């Protein structure tokens, strides 16, 4: 099949937030590809990873699927990005100099968001560049959810009146919530839990009281201990979904109650050398009192419908499911109790 050529497309903002694949380069979207090719500067928290992505996209063929890993599971072996470009163009606000570099090298200038002794506030310098007409693409680490230096660049840019656009893309937390089967109309994302045990327990207690679906990331060497803490606070029968390497060919997903997952993860982590982070999704916690109140209200709804409508129990159960979200099986059980 003939290789597909994708033309570049102008960004609607001076700063474009560009999500990156969370495991599979084939998840790259055409608009992300266009933004990276059109950028004058590509800002990221890891220049080596940014350089690897840019080089991969220069050779990318949209006409075929190769299941290429990105980011690589072992990023320690990535070649160092050519930092001489940044040294040669310290005045990033000079549009002509930045674009001259792009014309000569065939790619955007790579700028690290990590503060250094040479420059303690790269966000400020990038904002000055954007105000002078330089197009900047921010590579969002680990998908679309911004934290740390990336979040600072976006919030500072908004305060300074810099126009921006955010492109849609993958995020492990969103992928995990969607595939969990838990309610997604109200979920709480907390990135990583605190390191201190006391603070972790307090955070979990707060999350439990939220009565929302909860999603967060966890390091491989902490996952077993974290599930043990969840079991103590939520109870051992709380349903969870825990994933690792989502979207990769070696994707691993664990589903079940806390007590079941604890045993499975102990066995898995003792045998696996995979050190990739996990994403944890906990189903909402609803108190016993609230469950009882809901049961009374549900029974009243079913009783009222039964007295007002002349339809079969099967059709009534179907109607209850559409109205309340309660399964037909559960509705039929309540109907059978009312018959008695």
Q: Within a domain: residue 2?
A: no
**Separation CA 337–CA 324 (nearest Å):** 19
Q: Are residues 93 and 186 in the same domain?
A: no
Q: Within a domain: residue 6?
A: no
CATH of the domain at 268: 3.30.950.10
Q: Are residues 116 and 49 in the same domain?
A: yes
- Say which residue, 60 or 154, is predicted with more confidence: 154
Among 125, 148, 170, identify where a domain stops.
170
Q: Are residues 225 and 292 in the same domain?
A: no
* Residue 85: pLDDT band with limits 50, 70, 90: very low
- Say which residue, 144 or 311, is predicted with more confidence: 311
Q: Within a domain: residue 60?
A: yes
Among 120, 151, 170, identify where a domain stops.
170
* Residue 2: pLDDT band with limits 50, 70, 90: very low
Residue pLDDT, tens place only, 254-295: 999 999 999 999 999 999 988 889 999 999 987 665 666 677
Confidence (pLDDT) at 258: 93
Q: Which of 185, 188, 156 is nearest to 43 (CA)?
A: 156
Report the share of the chain in percent with pLDDT over 70: 84
- How is residue 229 written in tokens? 């803490």
Q: Is 286 exposed, middle or buried (0-12, 13-18, 19+ CB in 10 A)?
A: exposed
The pairing of strands 187-192 and 213-218 is parallel
Q: Are residues 47 and 151 in the same domain?
A: yes
Bin 325: left if φ > 0, else alpha if -120 < ψ < 50, else beta. left
Confidence (pLDDT) at 23: 85
Report the share of the chain in percent with pLDDT over 90: 37
**What letter would DSSP give residue 217?**
E
Residue 8 has pLDDT above 80, yes or no: no
Q: Are residues 42 and 135 in the same domain?
A: yes
Q: Within a domain: residue 259?
A: yes
CATH of the domain at 116: 3.40.1010.10
User: Is the pTM here over 0.85, yes or no?
Assistant: no
Judge whether 243 and 252 are in contact, CB under 8 Å.
Answer: yes
Residue 213 has pLDDT above 90, yes or no: yes
Q: Lowest mean pLDDT of 88-102, 143-157, 208-222, name the range.
A: 88-102
Range from 87-96, 119-128, 169-178, 331-340 that averages highest in pLDDT: 169-178
Q: Are residues 152 and 216 in the same domain?
A: no
Cα distances from 115 to residues 69, 111, 125, in angstroms, run 29, 11, 11
Confidence (pLDDT) at 265: 97
Confidence (pLDDT) at 322: 79
Range from 1-5, 10-14, 46-50, 66-70 that averages highest in pLDDT: 46-50
Among 282, 303, 330, identify where a domain stops.
282
Judge whether 89 and 98 are in contact, CB under 8 Å.
Answer: yes
Greatest CA separation found in the chain?
A: 84
Confidence (pLDDT) at 287: 62
Residue pLDDT, tens place only, 104-127: 888 889 988 886 655 567 888 899
Confidence (pLDDT) at 116: 61
Q: Are residues 130 and 252 in the same domain?
A: no
Residue 242 has pLDDT above 50, yes or no: yes
Judge whether 56 and 20 are in contact, CB under 8 Å.
Answer: no
* Mean pLDDT, the chain, whole residue set: 84
Domain interval for residue 335: 288-339
| Alpha helices, H only, the chain | 30-38, 47-58, 84-88, 95-105, 122-131, 148-159, 172-180, 197-209, 223-234, 258-271, 288-308, 313-324, 328-339
* Residue 83: pLDDT band with limits 50, 70, 90: very low
Say how many domains are in the chain.
3
Q: Taking the chain, what is the end-to-end CA distance rounded to the nearest angstrom?
A: 68
Q: Within a domain: residue 3?
A: no
Q: Within a domain: residue 8?
A: no
Q: Within a domain: residue 25?
A: yes
Q: Are residues 199 and 125 in the same domain?
A: no
Q: Are residues 116 and 246 in the same domain?
A: no
**Separation CA 135–CA 123 (nearest Å):** 14
Q: Are residues 224 and 156 in the same domain?
A: no
Q: Are residues 321 and 177 in the same domain?
A: no
Confidence (pLDDT) at 136: 94
Residue 141 has pLDDT above 80, yes or no: no
* Residue 87: pLDDT band with limits 50, 70, 90: very low
Confidence (pLDDT) at 92: 60
Range from 72-81, 93-102, 310-319, 320-329 that averages highest in pLDDT: 310-319
Strand order from edge to edge, sheet including 109-112: 109-112, 41-44, 136-140, 15-19, 164-166
Q: Are residues 158 and 47 in the same domain?
A: yes
Q: Within a domain: residue 4?
A: no
């Amino acid at each position: 099949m003939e290789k597909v050529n994708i033309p570049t497309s102008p960004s609607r903002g001076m700063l474009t937030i560009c999500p990156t694949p969370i495991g599979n380069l084939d998840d790259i979207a055409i608009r992300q590809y266009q933004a990276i090719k059109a950028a004058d500067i590509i800002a990221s928290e890891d220049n080596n990873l940014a350089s690897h992505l840019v080089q991969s996209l220069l050779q990318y063929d949209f006409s075929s699927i190769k299941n290429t890993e990105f980011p690589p599971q072992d990023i320690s072996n990535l070649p160092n990005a050519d930092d001489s470009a940044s040294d040669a163009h310290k005045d990033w606000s000079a549009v002509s100099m930045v674009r001259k570099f792009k014309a000569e090298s065939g790619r955007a200038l790579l700028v690290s968001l990590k503060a250094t002794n040479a420059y303690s506030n790269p966000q400020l310098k990038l904002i000055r560049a954007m105000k002078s007409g330089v197009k900047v693409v921010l590579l969002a680490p680990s998908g679309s959810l911004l934290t740390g230096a990336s979040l600072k660049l976006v919030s500072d840019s908004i305060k300074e009146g810099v126009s921006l656009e955010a492109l849609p893309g993958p995020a492990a937390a969103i992928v995990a919530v969607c595939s969990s089967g838990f309610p997604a109309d109200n979920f709480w994302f907390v990135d990583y839990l605190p390191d201190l045990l006391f603070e972790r327990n307090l955070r979990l207690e707060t999350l439990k009281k939220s009565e929302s679906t909860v999603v967060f990331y966890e390091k491989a060497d902490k996952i077993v201990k974290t599930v043990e803490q969840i079991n103590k606070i939520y109870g051992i029968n709380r349903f969870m979904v825990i994933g690792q390497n989502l979207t990769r060919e070696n994707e691993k997903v664990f589903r079940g109650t806390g007590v079941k997952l604890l045993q499975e993860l102990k066995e898995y982590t003792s045998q696996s050398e995979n050190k990739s982070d996990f994403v944890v999704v906990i189903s909402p916690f609803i108190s016993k009192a609230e469950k009882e109140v809901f049961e009374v209200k549900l029974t009243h709804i079913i009783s009222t419908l039964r007295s007002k409508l002349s339809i079969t129990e099967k059709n009534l159960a179907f109607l209850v499911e559409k109205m309340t979200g309660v399964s037909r099986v559960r509705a039929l059980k309540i109907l059978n109790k009312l018959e008695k």
